[in-house]
Structure 1
């Protein structure tokens, strides 16, 4: 299968091995191992007994005999994290990539890699990384003050719906629909039956966890409260699980990167009105959320009660995935903004290391009206020169800049 380059590849081209130790985190199946192994002289798969035995016998000297190594699924043998940290301190000649789909289970000893090991998060593929869309206007352009860009999108609503359900996981998205559905079901089952158990979880009722995941899927792109999610997950149950149990579910799903919330953006100067600090819920891949909800492309487009609202939420999930993939190119953070009283909200706020901001709204619509940009204009007025650009991502046909300076960009032409 042809390798599809990621934005993370561009990042690694620039920083590795100048940075001698990089940990690539991410959920199972996002492509971490395939991306990392192309850059090293030796690979140690630590979920295989032979590699673990070799390192147990030879210690860090085994690593130091190679110019560059990949420690795949490093959390299975967490001592290698500390070896890596010490090798950086000792200026060892070996460059190291570590990949993992979970943090070490509770009780595994490892020290912070702060200042020694750089961590980056790999997510499922964006539309441009999949080769499903041409891209065009990037965050680098927006922060640089782009102007004059116009283009026509080759994608329409049905194409976006297909990409929502097709998955950005490399091993799944190229399959025929039935096989893709089977693989997504298998992915979800593995989370419940194996991945969380490997994290030390004792699940008495697997169906409760499935219900909890489904509730998070239904809350995609919202800031639904804990109570709302609990009620959705336990509808019809008189014996509801304790809060400590459900918070443990949330923490475990976060540890294996299945939950991928968008944090609230907290503004520095100038002063802002009180902002909510609640994260916006997202699962790792909108296709997994759709599958948990029992929604395929036909269902999302076919007028099933509630499907329209779900489609809007999942389109924002897809857009969020695309924005986050491109953000690594400018070392930017991605958050969301909502004032406490709900007067103003911006779906995504991208902030670069110079504290400049690109505000992004996501609209499941072909056309953009003045009311669709009012929150972006409000943010521009509040933060002044820090505001680099405002963008509305749509399903429409054309990219252009409005007279008020706000960009209207089909999602296929972003990134």
Structure 2
């Protein structure tokens, strides 16, 4: 059995479990939720096992008699358990009683949201620091502190290695497989979505090829704000018999329920003098390896730029979009560890955009641009300077994340950070 790989979310759980009666750990299948939760549980109810599910349905009191912390794995297989836990917590709010894991939002929703009783924690595929790619020398926490922390460090990780990491996947059970086995597992993962997960969510896919085409077009839209109508057109070029809008909305809804779409929402500041900011999300799948697999991308094709697929307008290459997606995955994991949220910024006229805005609870932000290059020049920081001029001290720090080898701070104060050297 493979040894457990520590995750960034472990730190969050170590802080939350001793103070909260119930926590649900949610994310797509295969991200390691069960392994992470089992390290903290004394009793486990695996509800993806029909026998275990039947026993609990027959005798719900087992939950209260079990030795805590109690792990209820894949709770969405028996949605009524949510209300059982909520009522149990109402009667006994002792911290550390329940852990729930879920790979989908259940079709039959619980009768109560669980607000005030069950705290939800998101788990994503492995970030670079969790993969052991490099030891980070800069933490997002340093940037969020607003202290102008020193930026230093060196790495041997280069563009071919980042490309390899995009394709290797952040799913723990897939990441270390040989190339062919990895591709087969990713194909199997995508096939299960269509053949099993959609029906389990109450949506029978009548035209699997159409869903696969829509997913492929969504993958081609990675790191763009393309409209959903543009994604549909790219999925069905020249097809007069396009699926109805309600069908593609259902695709999007079910994939969201399965935690497989992870779009970056637009930043809509509440106290800064902005007007006419675009509100569309920046599209991302849960793992850039899924996007690469859908598009048939390989190391060679990405590095050479010889990748075909649905035509979605984008600035730059597909490799640039997937590298940004890899950075987005890292930033989501690191931002969550720092109780911050991830956004993007784009003006409606398109004159100004910043790839990522990380916002603290007090609405102060860190701005990050992503560049598929080892070097940074003045043109790469124009939008960061524009934002600094607009919001002043509300901008805690600004950085360009690159594929380079050295971390440093430019004379204008902008940090330059190789992606592998940035951690939580």
TM-score (norm: length of structure 2): 0.95
Are residue 332 (structure 1) and residue 340 (structure 2) matched? yes
| In 2: Cα distance, 1:157 partner to 1:98 partner | 39
2:24–2:119 CA contact under 8 A, matched in 1: yes
Task: Identify if the C-alpha distance between structure 1 residues 384 and 75 changes in structure 2 by more than 3 Å, giving closer, same or farther.
Answer: same
2:63–2:70 CA contact under 8 A, matched in 1: no
Map Cα deviations across residues 41-62 of structure 1 (whole Å, 9 max, x no partner). 1111111112212212221443
| In 1: Cα distance, 2:110 partner to 2:421 partner | 45
How far did 1:403 drift? 1.1
How far did 1:348 drift? 0.8
Give the match for residue 250 of structure 1: 252
Give the match for residue 23 of structure 2: 22
Give the match for residue 13 of structure 1: 14
| Aligned ranges 1:104-183 → 2 under 5 Å | 104-105=106-107, 107-144=108-145, 145-183=147-185
| In 2: Cα distance, 1:342 partner to 1:395 partner | 25
How far did 1:103 drift? 0.3
1:78–1:110 CA contact under 8 A, matched in 2: no
| In 1: Cα distance, 2:38 partner to 2:380 partner | 44
Out of 364, 378, 384, the residue aligned to residue 392 of structure 2 is 384
- Write out the 4+ residue segments of structure 1 that deviate beyond 6 Å after TM superposition: none
Give the match for residue 43 of structure 1: 44
Give the match for residue 192 of structure 1: 194
How far did 1:302 drift? 2.7
| In 1: Cα distance, 2:111 partner to 2:392 partner | 44
| In 2: Cα distance, 1:62 partner to 1:250 partner | 35
1:75–1:104 CA contact under 8 A, matched in 2: yes
Deviates more, 1:82-91 or 1:263-272: 82-91
Out of 290, 293, 296, the residue aligned to residue 295 of structure 2 is 293
Aligned residues: 414
| Aligned ranges 1:340-351 → 2 under 5 Å | 340-351=348-359
Map Cα deviations across residues 275-298 of structure 1 (whole Å, 9 max, x no partner). 111000000100110000000112
Give the match for residue 62 of structure 1: 63
Give the match for residue 366 of structure 1: 374
Q: Which runs of 5+ in 2 are unaligned?
A: 310-315
Out of 389, 410, 417, the residue aligned to residue 409 of structure 1 is 417
SS for the counterpart of 1:373 is helix
How far did 1:252 drift? 0.7
Give the match for residue 319 of structure 1: 327
Map Cα deviations across residues 229-249 of structure 1 (whole Å, 9 max, x no partner). 011111131101111111111
Out of 385, 408, 413, the residue aligned to residue 400 of structure 1 is 408
| In 1: Cα distance, 2:125 partner to 2:199 partner | 23
Provide the aligned C-alpha RMSD in A: 1.4
| In 2: Cα distance, 1:290 partner to 1:21 partner | 37
SS for the counterpart of 1:273 is coil
1:261–1:281 CA contact under 8 A, matched in 2: yes
Task: Identify if the C-alpha distance between structure 1 residues 64 and 392 changes in structure 2 by more than 3 Å, giving closer, same or farther.
Answer: farther
Q: Which runs of 5+ in 1 are unaligned?
A: none
How far did 1:330 drift? 1.1
SS for the counterpart of 1:43 is strand
Map Cα deviations across residues 244-264 of structure 1 (whole Å, 9 max, x no partner). 111111111111011111111
Task: Identify if the C-alpha distance between structure 1 residues 282 and 58 changes in structure 2 by more than 3 Å, giving closer, same or farther.
Answer: same
Map Cα deviations across residues 357-382 of structure 1 (whole Å, 9 max, x no partner). 01111100111111111111111221
Give the match for residue 213 of structure 1: 215
SS for the counterpart of 2:376 is coil
| Aligned ranges 1:265-284 → 2 under 5 Å | 265-284=267-286
How far did 1:343 drift? 1.3
Deviates more, 1:52-61 or 1:172-181: 52-61
Map Cα deviations across residues 175-211 of structure 1 (whole Å, 9 max, x no partner). 0001001000000000011001100002110000000
1:396–1:410 CA contact under 8 A, matched in 2: yes
SS for the counterpart of 2:70 is strand
How far did 1:64 drift? 4.1
2:174–2:185 CA contact under 8 A, matched in 1: yes
SS for the counterpart of 1:276 is coil
Are residue 103 (structure 1) and residue 108 (structure 2) matched? no
How far did 1:115 drift? 1.6
2:339–2:360 CA contact under 8 A, matched in 1: yes
| In 2: Cα distance, 1:303 partner to 1:343 partner | 26
1:63–1:69 CA contact under 8 A, matched in 2: no
